[in-house]
Amino acid sequence: LNDPQSIIDADRAHVWHHLIQHKAFETAAPRIIVEGKGLRVWDIAGKEYLDAVSGGVWTVNVGYGRASIADAVRDQLVRLNYFANTAGSIPGALFAERLTAKMPGLTRVYFSNSGSEANEKVFKMVRQIAHRHHGGRKSKILYRERDYHGTTFGALSASGQNERTAQYGPLLPGFVAVPHALEYRRQQRGANYGEAAADAIEEVILREGPDTIGAICLEPITAGGGVITPPDGYWQRVEEICRRHGILIHIDEVVCGLGRTGAWFGYQHYGVRPDFVTMAKGVASGYAAISCTVTSEAIFELFKDAPDDPLSHFRDISTFGGCASGPAAALENLRIIEDERLVENSARQGERLIANLRALQDKHPAIGDVRGKGLFAGVELVADRQSREPADEKLVQAVVAECGAQGVIIGSTNRSITGFNNTLCLAPALIATPDDIDAITETIGRAIGRVFG
Ligand code: PMP
C-alpha cells in the first residue's frame, strides 16, 4: 500500500501544488516529507534534512514530533472537539487568558483557522467601526509595499506584492499602499532613515485625507518580502503619526509571533502599542489550524451595543474557528515555549546566526546584506556589491537547491516580487542548538561558493 513510487505517482498525477513546484517536478520528483523530529525531517526516500525554515514557511516553532501536543489534541478530540463558537471551551478560555497575559494592553482573543482569516477579521472590524462610529468615513486601510497578509481577497488587497496580487484583480477597494522601509534599498533620504520612511507614510495619509483612513496593517518585520527589519526610530514615529491622525494600528504577527524574533511578539522589540495583533503559524506550531485576532478592551467596547443589530460583529460566526483541539494544542505549545525558555533561546541562537552570516558576508561578495532578529534572518544576494544590483533569481534558486541537495532546507523571498526575489530566508525551530546554527550557515557558505564561485 505504501510503495513510495506509487505515492509519488499519485502526488504527481493528482495533487495541485503551487505551480512553481510543478515546474520543478518536470526534472525532479515531488518532495514528500513523511516524518520529523526536532529540527530534522525525512522524505519518502529516507533522505534526512535539517530544516532551517520550520516547515517551509516558518511555522513549527517548537520543532517536530512533540508527543505532548499530540496527546493534548487527542485528549480533547475524544472529550469534545466541536461545538460552534457560540459556546466557549476550557482550552479556549485558558489559552486566551495566558496569551493576553503576554500582551499588555490587549485583552480579547477571537479565534479563527488561518492567518489570512485572522487578518480579514481586523479589516472587517475596521470597516464596522467606520460605519458605526465615523459615519462611514475612516474605512480605508493602509498597507506597506512588500508586506504580505494572506490568500483571501481582503488579505491580498492588503498585500504589497503587486506582481503576485494583480492576477486576481480587481482587488477590494479602500486599501492604500505606503512605501517599504528596507534601509538597504532606501527610497527616502534624510539623516535618520527610520524617521524619513515613517514620514513617507504620513505623506500618503495627508494625500488621502486622514479622516478617510481607519487603520494601518504592518508586519513587525516583513517576512516573505525579504526579512526586512525596521530601521531605528521607525516604529516610534509610525505610532506617533497614527495616533495623531486617529488611525488604528494592526500588527500582523503571523510569522513573528510566539518567539520567532527573540521576543514573545515582534512589536515588543519596538515598544509599539497596537490596537490589533493577528497571529497564526506559531500559535500551535502547525499541530493544529488555529489563528487569533487579539485586541483591546477599548475596541471590544466599540462593539458592545451591537447584539440587537442583525448585521453585527457578534453574528460573524466561523464554523471551525475556536474548535477546542486548536487552543488545546496552543496551550501545550505555549507551555513548551515557556518551560524550555525558547524565546530566550531564539534571542541567543539568533545572535550566533547573524554573526555566522556576517562572517560569510566577509568572504562572499555575493552577500550584499544580512539582517534579522532572533531566529529569523535574511541574506540578500547581489550581482554587484557596489551598485547593489540584485543577484539573478536563477542563481538565488540554485543556492536554495544546492543547500537542499546538501541536506539543509532553506527558503527565499516570495518569487513574485520582481527585482526583489534575491533574499535567502532562514527561520529554524526555536530549539536550535549552536551546532545546528553552524551546520546551517556552513552549508549556505558552501552553496554560495559553489554557485557564485
Ligand atoms: N501574514 C503573514 C505575515 C504571512 O506570512 C502569512 C502566510 N505566509 C499570512 C499572513 C497568511 O497566513 P495563512 O497562510 O495561515 O492564511
Is a pLDDT exceeding 70 seen at residue 309?
A: no
Average confidence (pLDDT) over 192-203: 97
Ligand 1 close to Cβ of residue 55 (< 6 A): no
Pocket of ligand 1, candidates 148, 157, 253, 265: which has the most ligand atoms within 8 Å of its Cβ, to mutate?
148
CA of 149 to the centre of ligand 1 (A): 5
CB contact at 8 A, 329 and 72: yes
Residues 170-186 pLDDT 10s:
999 999 999 999 999 99
pLDDT confidence band for 311 (50 / 70 / 90)? low
Is a pLDDT exceeding 90 seen at residue 298?
A: yes
Average confidence (pLDDT) over 196-205: 98
CA of 445 to the centre of ligand 1 (A): 29
Is a pLDDT exceeding 80 seen at residue 411?
A: yes
Our measurement of the distance from residue 163's CA atom to the centroid of its chain's CA atoms, rounded to an integer in Å, reads 19
Ligand 1 close to Cβ of residue 255 (< 6 A): yes
Ligand 1 close to Cβ of residue 303 (< 6 A): no
- Each residue of 220-237: b (16+ CB within 10 Å) or e? bbbbbbbbbbbbebbbbb
Is a pLDDT exceeding 70 seen at residue 78?
A: yes
Ligand 1 close to Cβ of residue 54 (< 6 A): no
Q: Are strands 213-218 and 140-144 parallel, antiparallel or unpaired?
A: parallel
Structure confidence at residue 79 (pLDDT): 96
pLDDT confidence band for 312 (50 / 70 / 90)? low
CA of 168 to the centre of ligand 1 (A): 17
Is a pLDDT exceeding 70 seen at residue 314?
A: no
Structure confidence at residue 255 (pLDDT): 98
pTM of this structure: 0.96
Residue type, 363: K
Structure confidence at residue 19 (pLDDT): 64
Closest residue to atom 13 of ligand 1, CA basis: 115
CB contact at 8 A, 245 and 434: no
Structure confidence at residue 126 (pLDDT): 97
> CB neighbours of 410 closer than 8 A, spacing ≥ 6?
52, 53, 399, 400, 403, 404, 424, 425, 426, 440, 444
User: Residue 141 and residue 174: Cα distance in Å, rounded?
Assistant: 6
Q: Three-state DSSP class for 359?
A: helix
User: Residue 368 and residue 271: Cα distance in Å, rounded?
Assistant: 29
Ligand 1 close to Cβ of residue 150 (< 6 A): yes
> CB neighbours of 320 closer than 8 A, spacing ≥ 6?
82, 113, 289
Atom of ligand 1 nearest to the CA of 117: 16
CA of 147 to the centre of ligand 1 (A): 10
Residue 258 grid cell: 510566539
- Please report the domains of the chain, with CATH numbers, ordered by start residue: 31-60+341-452 (3.90.1150.10), 68-339 (3.40.640.10)
Is a pLDDT exceeding 90 seen at residue 310?
A: no
Ligand 1 close to Cβ of residue 57 (< 6 A): yes
Structure confidence at residue 1 (pLDDT): 52
Residue 342, CA distances (Å) to 62, 220, 260, 412, 430 in order:
8, 20, 9, 24, 6
> CB neighbours of 24 closer than 8 A, spacing ≥ 6?
none
Residues 41-73 pLDDT 10s:
999 999 999 999 999 899 999 999 999 999 999
Structure confidence at residue 299 (pLDDT): 96
pLDDT confidence band for 86 (50 / 70 / 90)? confident
List % helix, strand, coil for the chain (3-state, nearest 5): 45, 15, 40
Residue 367, CA distances (Å) to 344, 360, 411 in order:
28, 8, 16
CA of 399 to the centre of ligand 1 (A): 25
- Between 365 and 20, name the one with better pLDDT: 365
Residue 119 grid cell: 487578518
Pocket of ligand 1, candidates 143, 149, 290: which has the most ligand atoms within 8 Å of its Cβ, to mutate?
149
